[in-house]
Amino acid sequence: MTKRIPVLLVLLAILPALIGCQESPAANQPIHKLIITGSSTVAPLIADIGKRFEAQHPDIRVDVQTGGSSRGVADARSGIAHIGMASRALHPQETIDLLATTIAQDGIGLIVHADNPVANLTTQQVIDIYTGKVTNWQSLGGMNAPIVVVNKAEGRATLEIFLHHFHLANSAIKADVVIGDNEHGIKTVAGNPQAIAYVSIGTATYDATAGVPIKLLQLNSIPASLATVQNGTFPLSRPLTLVTTKHPRPLAQTFMTFATSPHVQNLVIQHSFIPLPS
Amino acid sequence: MFKTWSSSIPSFPYHRDQLLRWALWSCASIAGLILVFIILFLILESVPALRHLGVNRFMFDPSWHPGENTFNLMPMILGTLFTTIGAIALAGPIGFCSALFCHCYAPPRLASLYGRFIELLAGIPSVVFGFWGLVVLVPLINQWHPPGPSMLAGILILAMMILPTTSLLAQSSLAQVPTEYLRGAAALGLGRWATLRRVVIPAAKSGLWTAALLATGRALGETMAVLMVCGNVVQIPSSIFDPIRTLTANMALEMAYAVDDHRSALFVSGVVLLLMVLILVTAANWSNRVPRHV
């Protein structure tokens, strides 16, 4: 027993060396790494596009990290990432030094529980609901029940686009629930017949067809669907973009050309987004 | 203070003893260093916000809207405090009483079955509690008193999560009461209730405090479950049916999306949380120093 202690210590000492050995490069050719960070809405799509890209370019490794659109823009600017992902168009002051390449379109739709009789809201009604001027569904043609307002957490592109479209300040919104990602919002609405939320139309369509008890509301009598976003009639739409500096590296340029090519169109549709017109 | 063996075990200047000593010393210092590094990192990251905004802004700004440059942390500090206090007020007595029943009244078979149940409850990951809360508990509260996601939901979920901690630790501290005490009490002709009240509980007191302390620590730091059921609206609640946001939920919701001062402000909320835990530990140590009755 007593003799074992030094043996253990020796083992502990050489362990890092053993682990270090495995990290030595196995392949002869150098591997180029392409780092992409940003929007959690775009990331799953880019991860899939990245896999297809890697299959065509075995010497390139695509590394996708999520962190929100603001992070994507900041990382592309500072050079931490080769490409940033953003689920919104660039702000005017961002276009001075950055370049955005649209890879797909997405819409933002208002959702309620499937049991809610309300099917359409006007822009003014949405503003009244979110600023707390209307607090009962009855005045909107629904049941006699309080409205549970679901808002997005600070820093999300969905929130920015929603506020911008309805000309609201976030501090003016009287929310009952603040959510993180789309799925959290959909689960909240599915479990609460009085709730109203706004989420990615792609995600909502996908979940509603899968049997989740939610429905997308019409906005000013325009149905919220992938078709109306595609033909431009639905007002709340946004581009999903890849952001780089004005002069991207050749590797980043190759990837963006690939991500906007018809080779990835089926992946875009698979993720319930609207592909670029071919 | 802390009682150790360091002065009562002889240490010889033999090679093996010295080797063991240094090996153990390095293991102990790893644990200490990790804490030091985490605290340093938190402070370094929060310095920019403290320098740009100052401490006062975190207490007296009109609201928490980093996008509009307002950074009031007070509603979230209170949210964390209220949920934690509510959870420990619920789970503490229930856990303690269940431990008493299990240890002193229950037939051995039932006690062992119950013990397995509690251990299983302790092993359920917090995200599962949160998910259950979101799809079962929140709709139930909504039927009773809308909107549903609320401080009450957070308190109930947290209480469920820390119940096994309080119960298991209370049981083990009751089990450590020497049997001589029980025999002595029996010899004095004390009944079961009197034995419990006058002998067992005073003797187990410090262990029971530790149980409450560890459970409070867990409730303070819990993130995922409260994020899913509390509603996350930054406000000082006027009733238990109002939604609230805790410090931990705030960090989890916004950290990945924050840049510049906003990001740094989230590290400030981390420092605040750390301070709250520090105050808790100090208070627990202080109250533990009150002389014991046995």
Amino acid, res. A76: A
C-alpha B231/C-alpha B124 separation (Å) is 22
Number of separate domains in chain A: 2
Which residues in chain B have their CB less than 8 angstroms from residue A179's CB?
232
Percent of residues, chain B, with pLDDT higher than 70: 95
The answer to the question of residue A18 being in a domain is no
pLDDT one-digit tens code per residue, B71-126: 999 999 999 999 999 999 999 999 999 998 888 888 889 888 988 888 898 889 88
The answer to the question of residue A165 being in a domain is yes
The answer to the question of residue A4 being in a domain is no
B289: confidence class by pLDDT, cuts 50, 70, 90: low
Mean pLDDT over A22-35 rounds to 63
C-alpha B37/C-alpha B33 separation (Å) is 6
Which of A154, A161, A186, A196 to substitute to test the interface with B, most B CBs within 10 Å?
A: A154
The answer to the question of residue A12 being in a domain is no
pLDDT at B11: 65
- Domain with residue A55: its CATH number is 3.40.190.10
User: Cα–chain-centroid distance for residue A269?
Assistant: 15
| Residue A238, beta-bridge partner list | A106
A136 with A219, same domain: the answer is: yes
The answer to the question of residue A179 being in a domain is yes
A53 with A86, same domain: the answer is: yes
Strands (E), B135-261: none
C-alpha A156/C-alpha A158 separation (Å) is 5
C-alpha B89/C-alpha A94 separation (Å) is 51
The answer to whether the bond into B147 is cis (omega within 30° of 0) is yes
pLDDT for residue B1 is more than 70: no
A53 with A128, same domain: the answer is: no
A217 with A257, same domain: the answer is: no
Which residues in chain A have their CB less than 8 angstroms from residue B252's CB?
180
Q: Would the CB atoms of B135 and A187 count as touching at under 8 Å? A: yes
A137 with A222, same domain: the answer is: yes
pLDDT for residue A17 is more than 80: no
Contacts of B216 (CB under 8 A, 6+ apart): B84, B88, B162, B280
pLDDT one-digit tens code per residue, A92-139: 888 888 999 999 988 999 999 999 999 999 999 999 999 999 999 998
A18: confidence class by pLDDT, cuts 50, 70, 90: very low
The answer to the question of residue A10 being in a domain is no
Q: Hey, how many other C-beta atoms are within 10 angstroms of the C-beta on B203?
A: 19
Of A6, A170, A176, the CB nearest to B19: A6
Please, what is the Cα angle at B145 between B144 and B150, to 5 degrees? 115
What CATH fold (topology level) applies to the domain B77-247? MetI-like fold (1.10.3720)
Angle between helices B15-60 and A4-22 (to 10 degrees): 50
Of A2, A154, A176, the CB nearest to B65: A154
For residue A59, the enclosing domain spans: 25-106+239-275
Q: Would the CB atoms of B256 and A71 count as touching at under 8 Å? A: yes
C-alpha B142/C-alpha A189 separation (Å) is 12
Radius of gyration of chain A (CA): 23
Which residues in chain A have their CB less than 8 angstroms from residue B248's CB?
none
From residue B4, give the alpha-carbon distance in Å to each of A128, B28, B262.
66, 14, 45
Q: Would the CB atoms of A194 and B63 count as touching at under 8 Å? A: no
Q: Is B66 in the A-facing interface, judged by CB distances under 8 Å?
A: yes
pLDDT one-digit tens code per residue, B25-70: 999 999 899 989 999 999 999 998 888 888 888 888 888 888 788 8
A221 with A197, same domain: the answer is: yes
Task: Decide: residue B156, CB within 10 A, 0-12 exposed, 13-18 middle, 19+ buried.
Answer: buried
Which residues in chain B have their CB less than 8 angstroms from residue A5's CB?
16, 19-20, 23
